[in-house]
Amino acid sequence: MRYLNEHFVPYDDNTQPTWRVSGYKETLTRTPNEALLTRPKTLSERVGPVRIEEKLMPACVDFEHTQTQAQGQRIYLRGRVLDSDGSPVRGAVLEIWQANASGRYRHAMDATNPNPLDPHFDGAFRLCTDARGEFALRTIKPGGYPVPQHPERWWRPPHIHFSVFGDGFASRLVTQMYFPGEPLNAQDRILHSVPDAQARARLIAQPMPMQAVPQTDHLGFCWDVVIRGAQQTPIEQTDTHATNHRTNSETNSETNGGTPQWR
């Protein structure tokens, strides 16, 4: 992707989130004060593994077969992964994780969450975009949850985490999708760490016309990911130095590596 840098308009820094979010202590540990030591990526890190979409074995989620007993509002999510010019990104591998309907993750770090786990819901998916750059997911609408151990007791709104692999394991774009009309969206510090209102809006899915939803018992939503350029989806970045915002030169050369925030 690097050779294309001269041919697309870079994003404005205000369309990307602030690295450190007040009241969200995890962002402190992910944003060191000093620049990290860097070393050149090896060829295999830059382009490997070959056929990542095969090695990670993504599979279309057949919710009806695997998690039909899960509790919560069933949703159908359809979206596209797009390049800066709107062209589809075919064969992109997406990893998706979310809380269950009660706002709890199936993750060791959420063990103190008093809400119950759902034995019929794992909340983790791996998909691959098709020839049109599209993906589709049937799942449960996640519940919101309070940010733990924070005196101001703010809540995360319902959201779904997305990671899009680039050419290899070292190239990832990590972000979150929100739901339209959620009152908690207005006060979410992660969402509002993106200064630009239009960029924040790009993180919020759109309702899908009911006639377009394949299953009558699912609510439908549409949401696209743009991997670079002026309309790039706001992303999480955790692996370089902690100035308030990243800069275009750091992120427009390729999709970004980074440690996904599990919650």
In the complex, the residues that contact Fe ion under the rule CB under 5 A are: 263
Q: Determine the Cα–Cα distance for residues 129 and 90; give it in Å rounded to an integer.
A: 6
Residue of 11, 76, 145, 178 with catalytic role:
145
Residue 259, Cβ neighbours under 10 Å: how many?
12
Coil, helix or strand for 143? coil
Q: Determine the Cα–Cα distance for residues 177 and 154; give it in Å rounded to an integer.
A: 18
Chain centroid offset of residue 261 CA: 9
Q: Determine the Cα–Cα distance for residues 255 and 252; give it in Å rounded to an integer.
A: 7
Closer residue to Fe ion, CB minimum distance, 19 or 162: 162
Closer residue to Fe ion, CB minimum distance, 93 or 99: 99
Residue 159 annotated to the active site:
yes
Closer residue to Fe ion, CB minimum distance, 76 or 145: 145
What are the angstrom distances between the C-alpha of 63 and each of 97, 98, 109, 157? 15, 15, 26, 23
Closer residue to Fe ion, CB minimum distance, 133 or 144: 144
Residue of 74, 105, 202, 228 with catalytic role:
105
Alpha-helical segments (H) within 146-207 = 197-201
Residue of 74, 78, 156, 218 with catalytic role:
156
Q: How far is the CB of 30 from Fe ion (least distance, A)?
A: 14
Q: How far is the CB of 103 from Fe ion (least distance, A)?
A: 9
Residue of 161, 200, 202, 218 with catalytic role:
161
**Which pair of tokens denotes residue 66?**
């695997």
What are the angstrom distances between the C-alpha of 250 and each of 19, 33, 48, 240? 14, 16, 21, 9
Residue 145 annotated to the active site:
yes
Q: How far is the CB of 106 from Fe ion (least distance, A)?
A: 12
Residue nearest Fe ion (C-beta atom): 263
Question: How crowded is the C-beta side of 99, counted as CA atoms within 13 Å?
Answer: 24
Q: How far is the CB of 151 from Fe ion (least distance, A)?
A: 20
Residue 105 annotated to the active site:
yes
Closer residue to Fe ion, CB minimum distance, 157 or 168: 157
Q: How far is the CB of 253 from Fe ion (least distance, A)?
A: 28
Residue 178 annotated to the active site:
no
**Which pair of tokens denotes residue 173?**
């774009």
Residue of 74, 80, 138, 159 with catalytic role:
159
Q: What residues are labeled active site?
A: 105, 145, 156, 159, 161
